[in-house]
Structures are given as structure tokens and as C-alpha cells.
């Protein structure tokens, strides 16, 4: 189990405080802990009701998404909704909105970084993006629907995230669709010229390369920063960040991203984070532990920074600790991309346990 120095100090300080309490005070603390547990049970029910309400409205959203898909792909006229006569793929595309999803994705900074120039032509064939909850195992699934294209055979590429519990923040793993590339069309690999020997004999070799379509590969265990038994691994967390952007931003507000309207909201968040960073630099914190604020779940999410700041900008290394049902059991997770980690973590609101995040 990984514990940085500042968290060790915090744990030692907590133990010292408890040890100095009188027997009577310790009894009062035990009673207060029981009261807290009662409160946490109520909060659990609160989030269960929120989850049920979200599921209800997800069903109500579906007709809107279906109508959007029909208009984007030229299956209906946007003015009167009448179905157009099929005049082949070319006519369908002309009556729809060309490159709709590619354009929307490129307006999102995080997704734009994942898309290479080679990817863009393939992503022009993207018809629709959907997500749905799954029941066995629990979790959810992203679906990317494609028109027939010269790059791969699949009509649907999926990414599934099984969850061990309804109220965990990060999935245990990610399962992607194996892409059936046509010969010579694989976008996640490229030919590279290599030279060998003293005479520099040349050879062309295939190497993996950056591509959005790597998203459909499961994070490799050797790329993860932590032991499998820890449950939360950086590879899955980083992958889940991209998933969260699709699920929580792109799918619900695709037209806002397409026309560039959503970028103003994104820029506003960045401005707020930059202002918070200036506050953090002047604030100073004892033993590296900042102020705390709770978000979601029993005990919620707590991290270093001023209490008014829900997404504090800070140095690049953050530590997040999960305090399980047993307060003496602490699991820590380190990330060197705190914004992406916290985004994924906080966006999955059905989370339980007490979390503390502090910068190093």
C-alpha cells in the first residue's frame, strides 16, 4: 500500500489525537461515529434515489437522441421531420450534417488530443455515439456506430465498463471491441523505416502509433501504475476520463460542441481553475494538507485546496486516499494528471467512502 509522507503524518496525527483522549471523550467519539454512520446511510438512500431519477430521464432523452441521429445522417428533414427517399449513401450524407461527430469531438480539447490526422477520415464515417447502463455485470457501455467504410469491417465499436458495485467511482476494468481492420488500413499502427548493422541496411517495420482508435483497446496491465489487487489503476482511470467526456459532455450536448458553443463553458472552467491556482500559491498549507470539501457519497470526495474551489488547480502531482468502512484502512492512489483524474472521479457521482486528496 502506497502512503506518501504527508499522508503518513496525517495518519500519525490522527492516532495521536485519539490516544490523548480521556476514556469518557473516547466514548463520546464512538457515539459521534455512530451518528455519522446513520447520516451516511441516509445519504446512501439519497444517491440511490438520484440514480433512479437519472435512469428515468435517460429513457426520456432517447427520443431526442434518435431524432438527432436521423437528422445528422439525413434520414429525416429537419424542417418537417418527413422521411426522405433513399437516394444512396451520397445523397443521404448531403442531406445530413457532414462530419458532425468528428467536428464535435475536435472542439473538446481532451478528445482533440486523442485524434490524429489519419484518424479524421475514418471518424467522418461515425453515425452516432450512444451510452447505456448494463445489468450483468453492473456498469455501462459506450457504442460508436459507423457507416460502411474503407478502414474496418465493424459497424459498431463498443467500450464496456463493468462496475463491482453501483457506488464505486472508477470501473474495475475496461473492455473494448477488437477492430477488424482491412489490410493496410490499421490506423493504430504505422510503417517505420529502420536501419541495422554497420552498413545501415534498411528495413520497414510495423510499430504502434498514437490513434483515437487505441481507445478501444483495454488498458494493458504493464502500463498501469499500481498492482492489480489495488483495484484502481491509472490506465483504467485515464481511459475512464475519456469515457466520461463522451457520456457526460459530448452525447448530451453534441450540437453545442459541434457549433463551438460548449467551448465557452470549457474556457470558463479553465479561467476559474487558473484563478484558484493563484489563490493556492498564496494560501500555504500545513504538512502539505490543504482545506477540504466533500462531494458525493458517504463522506464524499475531499481534496486539498480552498473550500470554495470544486476543481482546484495545483501542482501536477496529487494523492487521493480512499478511507474504507474501516477508518484504519487507507488506500492511496497517485496521479500525475490531477485534472483528468479528478474529472473522471467527480463525474461519477455514485461514489462511496471518504476521500482525501492533497498535493505533494
Confidence check: pLDDT of 69 > 60: yes
Query: 264-318, pLDDT tens digit by residue?
Result: 666 777 777 888 777 766 554 444 434 433 333 333 333 333 333 333 333 333 3
pLDDT of residue 182 exceeding 90: yes
Quote the percentage of the chain above a pLDDT of 90: 38
pTM for this one? 0.64
**Total residues belonging to the chain:** 360
pLDDT for 48: 87
Instruction: Place 51 in a pLDDT band, splitting at 50, 70 and 90.
Output: confident
Residue listed under C-alpha cell 479553465: 270
- Round to whole Å and give the CA distance between 121 and 260: 21
pLDDT of residue 197: 66
pLDDT of 188 reads: 93
8 Å CB contact between 122 and 187: yes
More confident residue, 167 or 151: 151
The number of beta carbons lying within 10 Å of the beta carbon of residue 165 is 10
Q: Please calculate the CA angle 333-271-345 and round it to the nearest 5 degrees.
A: 25
Mean pLDDT on 144-148: 98
Domain boundaries 5-19+30-77+97-179+214-359, corresponding CATH code: 3.30.1120.90
- For residue 57, what pLDDT is reported? 95
Q: Compute the distance between CA of residue 246 and CA of residue 70 in angstroms, rounded to an integer.
A: 19
- Residue 38, pLDDT > 90, answer yes
Grid cell locating 135: 445489468
The per-residue pLDDT for 139 is 84
Spell out the domain ranges in the chain. 5-19+30-77+97-179+214-359
Determine the Cα–Cα distance for residues 146 and 154; give it in Å rounded to an integer: 8
pLDDT at 83 over 90: no
Most confident of 238-242, 251-255, 335-339: 251-255
Cis bond upstream, residue 137 (ω within 30): yes
Q: Given this model, what pLDDT does residue 90 score?
A: 53
Amino acid at each position: 500500500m502506497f502512503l506518501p509522507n504527508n499522508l503518513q503524518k496525517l495518519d500519525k496525527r490522527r492516532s495521536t489525537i485519539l490516544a490523548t483522549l480521556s476514556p469518557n471523550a473516547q466514548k463520546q467519539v464512538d457515539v459521534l461515529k455512530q451518528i455519522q454512520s446513520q447520516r451516511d446511510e441516509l445519504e446512501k438512500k439519497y444517491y440511490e434515489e438520484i440514480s433512479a431519477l437519472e435512469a428515468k430521464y435517460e429513457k426520456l432523452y432517447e427520443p431526442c437522441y434518435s431524432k438527432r441521429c436521423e437528422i445528422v445522417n439525413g434520414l429525416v428533414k429537419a424542417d418537417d421531420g418527413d422521411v426522405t427517399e433513399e437516394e444512396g449513401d451520397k445523397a443521404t450524407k448531403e442531406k445530413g450534417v457532414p462530419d458532425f461527430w468528428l467536428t464535435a469531438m475536435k472542439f473538446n480539447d481532451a478528445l482533440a488530443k486523442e485524434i490524429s490526422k489519419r484518424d479524421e477520415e475514418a471518424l467522418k464515417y461515425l453515425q452516432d455515439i450512444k451510452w447505456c447502463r448494463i445489468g450483468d455485470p453492473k456498469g455501462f457501455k459506450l457504442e460508436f456506430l459507423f457507416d460502411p467504410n474503407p478502414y474496418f469491417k465493424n459497424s459498431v465499436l463498443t467500450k464496456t465498463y463493468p462496475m463491482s458495485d453501483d457506488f464505486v467511482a472508477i470501473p474495475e476494468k475496461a473492455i473494448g471491441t477488437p477492430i477488424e481492420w482491412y489490410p493496410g488500413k490499421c490506423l493504430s499502427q504505422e510503417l517505420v523505416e529502420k536501419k541495422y548493422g554497420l552498413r545501415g541496411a534498411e528495413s520497414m517495420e510495423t510499430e504502434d502509433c498514437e490513434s483515437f482508435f487505441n481507445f478501444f483497446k483495454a488498458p494493458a496491465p504493464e502500463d498501469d501504475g499500481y498492482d492489480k489487487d489495488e483495484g484502481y489503476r491509472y490506465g483504467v482511470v485515464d481511459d475512464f476520463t475519456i469515457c466520461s467526456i463522451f457520456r457526460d459532455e459530448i452525447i448530451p450536448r453534441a450540437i453545442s460542441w459541434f457549433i463551438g458553443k460548449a467551448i465557452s463553458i470549457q474556457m470558463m472552467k479553465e479561467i476559474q481553475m487558473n484563478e484558484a491556482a493563484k489563490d493556492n500559491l498564496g494560501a500555504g498549507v500545513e504538512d502539505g494538507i490543504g482545506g477540504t470539501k466533500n462531494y458525493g457519497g458517504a463522506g464524499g470526495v475531499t481534496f486539498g485546496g480552498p473550500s470554495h474551489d470544486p476543481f482546484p488547480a495545483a501542482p501536477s502531482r496529487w494523492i487521493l486516499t480512499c478511507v474504507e468502512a474501516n477508518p484504519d484502512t487507507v488506500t492511496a492512489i497517485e496521479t500525475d494528471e490531477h485534472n483528468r483524474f479528478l474529472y473522471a472521479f467527480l463525474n461519477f457521482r455514485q461514489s462511496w467512502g471518504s476521500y482525501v486528496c492533497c498535493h505533494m
